[in-house]
Chain A
Amino acid sequence: MSDAIKTSSLSPEFRKEIFEEPGTEKITMCFNCTGCSSGCPMTELEPEFNIRKFLRMANLGMKDELLNNPYLWYCTTCYKCQERCPQGVPNVDALLKIRTIAVQNGVMLPAHKKVGQLVVKSGHAVPINDDTKEKRKALGLDEVPPTVHRFPDALSEVKKLLHIAGFDKIVAEEEEKK
Chain B
Amino acid sequence: MTKLSFFLGCIAPNRYPGIEISTKKVMEKLDVELEDLEGASCCPAPGVFRSFDKTTWLSMASRNVTLSEEMGNDLLTVCNGCFGSLVDANLLLKEDDALREDVNKMLSEVGHEFKGTQDVRHIIEYLFQEVGVEKVKNAVINPLDLKVAVHYGCHLVKPSKERHLGSAENPTFFDELVEATGATSVDYEDKMACCGAGGGARTAVLETTLHMATNKLDHMVAAGVDCVVNACPFCHLQLDVGQTEIKKTFGKEYGMPVLHYSQLLGLAMGFTPEELGIDLNFVENSKFIERIRGGAK
Contacts and interface: CB of A to CB of B under 8 A. Distances in A.
Interface of A: 41-42, 45-46, 73-80, 82-83, 92, 96, 99-100, 103, 108-109, 111-112, 115-116, 119, 123-129, 132, 135-136, 138-141, 145-151, 153-155, 157-158, 160-162, 164-167, 170-171
A139 B196 contact: no
Contact of B42 (A73, A79, A119): A119
Given A42-B208, A145-B13, A135 B280 contact: yes
B168 A115 contact: no
Interface string B164-188: 0000110000000000000000000
Chain B interface size, under 10 / 10 to 19 / 20 to 34 / 35 or more: 35 or more
A136 B52 contact: no
A124 B39 contact: no
Given A45-B212, A115-B203, A164-B59, A77 B42 contact: no
26 contacts: A73-B204, A75-B201, A77-B155, A78-B199, A79-B158, A79-B159, A80-B158, A82-B159, A112-B52, A116-B52, A119-B42, A124-B14, A132-B13, A132-B17, A139-B17, A147-B8, A150-B39, A151-B39, A153-B39, A154-B39, A160-B110, A161-B59, A165-B56, A167-B53, A167-B56, A170-B56
A111 B206 CA distance: 11
Contacts of A77: 46-47, 154-155, 198-199
B51 interface: yes
Given A128-B13, A154-B41, A160-B109, A75 B199 contact: yes
B194 A41 contact: yes
Contacts of A125: 10, 42, 44-45, 48
Nearest to B190: A41
A76 B199 CA distance: 4
Of A41, A150, A171, chain B has the most CB atoms within 10 Å of the CB of A41
Nearest to A152: B39
B63 interface: yes
A88 to B, nearest CB: 9
B190 to A, nearest CB: 8
Contacts of B107: 161
Contacts of A132: 13-15, 17
Contact of B158 (A83, A100, A160, A167): A83
A45 to B, nearest CB: 5
B204 A124 contact: no
B251 interface: no
Given A139-B280, A148-B40, 6 more contacts: A73-B201, A77-B199, A146-B38, A150-B39, A157-B63, A165-B56
Given A100-B53, A123-B42, A141-B21, A78 B10 contact: no
Interface of B: 8, 10-11, 13-15, 17-18, 20-21, 36-42, 44-56, 59-60, 63, 106-107, 109-112, 154-155, 158-160, 168-169, 193-194, 196-201, 203-205, 208-209, 211-212, 215, 275, 277, 280
Given A76-B194, A77-B154, A138-B280, A167 B200 contact: no
A136 B15 CA distance: 9
Contact of A147 (B41, B63, B198, B211): B41
A76 B159 contact: no
B13 A147 contact: yes
Given A42-B201, A112-B48, A154 B38 contact: yes
Contacts of B205: 73-74
Given A45-B208, A170-B53, A126 B10 contact: yes
Given A103-B53, A161-B59, A165-B106, A115 B48 contact: yes
Given A124-B41, A128-B14, A161 B51 contact: no
A45 B106 CA distance: 41
A145 B158 contact: no
